[in-house]
Amino acid sequence: MAIDPELRTLDIDIPTQPEALAELSLLLTDADANLNAVSHLIEGDMALASAVLKAVNSSIYGLKGRVQSVQQAVTYLGMREVASVTFAMGLKAVFPDTVELAPIWERASVRGLLMSRLAREVGLDSWAAHSAGLFEECGKAILFRHASARYRPMLRAPGNDTSLAAAELASFGVSHDALGAALCESWGLAAPAVASVRHHVTVQSTGRIPMQLPRRGLCALSAIAHAMTNDPGSLEAAVEAIAPQADLDPTLLLRGARRVMQQIEDAMTA
């Protein structure tokens, strides 16, 4: 997909999708794709395969015993979940390995997993949901790579993403939500995932989803994942406010969110 011409005038580079991730995306569109094909593709990049194994062996996935191969990971977690982890590692790899970006990738990993499992609970596309959660803050990494000295104080400043986006717009002429959406488009993510990344700051701060969006489910899941990770006590109120805007059943969504939270807690304490 073409990137917004206005972003190109700002001379901010949008990273190119790594070849392995491009091939993985194509493979997952094939209804006949199988475990061996996905495993072989990931294992073809030793650095990526190593990062994927490290990630799936973390406590958050709650696997019994240590996974020794990508194929074993796919067997236990499924193709799409391992593909999601692979995308997380591939996205991280195109940016500097710095202490400032580490919290962004940690949040992305948890948020992607939460949104993916929430999507399964309410019958939405779990692959698109995971992508939306994973890429939500990637615009911050783009700005850091573009001008780390100027952007570092903004990342460290107290406040929320709304105030950060305002500071970004004033300093760079663009905010991280727009840049993140541009990266999503460039890497060929599904339109609902792109929309979720583009509007996440507004949705999370106001509790309102733009009504012009034809599919609003992932935006709703973004808001719920935000409540789950930042203020679990607000979860019920967040569900009641956001679910009707996306034509989701509030009871089903709340039950699913609580189940997912319990799954994560169980995995982390096992």
Of 187, 146, 215, 186, which is closest to residue 199 (Cα–Cα)? Answer: 215
> For residue 1, what pLDDT is reported?
39
How far is it, in rounded angstroms, from Cα 117 to Cα 121?
6
> For residue 24, what pLDDT is reported?
86
Which segments of the chain belong to CATH 1.10.3210.10?
1-16+98-270
Q: Residue 232 is encoded by which pair of tokens? A: 């679990």
Q: Output the pTM of the full model.
A: 0.87
pLDDT tens, residue by residue, 200-225: 999 999 999 999 999 999 999 999 99
> For residue 111, what pLDDT is reported?
95
Query: Does domain 1-16+98-270 fall into CATH 3.40.640.10?
Result: no
> For residue 112, what pLDDT is reported?
93
Low-confidence ranges of the chain (pLDDT < 70): 1-10, 31, 270
> For residue 154, what pLDDT is reported?
96
DSSP string, 204-247: HHHS---TT-S--HHHHHHHHHHHHHH-GGGHHHHHHHHGGGGT
